Amino acid sequence: MSYIELHACSAFSFLRGGSFPEQLAEVAAELEMPAMALLDRNGVYGAQRFSVAAREHGVRPIIGCELSM
């Protein structure tokens, strides 16, 4: 069974993530993940960059957002 990360934050989520969306997609491909979800905090700031990079590496991008209420 393949592992899929469903709660990764990029560097655009201040104090939550440290990697840029392109780096996340590259590592997901290296780990042979079929898909990966990017959930930035209070917005979809890295969604476009992650989506393009993930598709280039053959990883299905899943886009979401973690909202603080």
The DSSP line for 36-66 is EEEEEETS-TTHHHHHHHHHHTT-EEEEEEE
**Total structural domains within the chain:** 1
Average pLDDT over residues 35-64: 96
The pLDDT tens digits of the residues spanning 5-29 come to: 999 999 999 888 899 999 999 999 9
pTM of the model: 0.90
Q: Domain limits at 14?
A: 5-66
What confidence tier does 4 reach under pLDDT thresholds 50, 70, 90? very high
CB 40 within 8 A of CB 46: yes
What confidence tier does 2 reach under pLDDT thresholds 50, 70, 90? confident
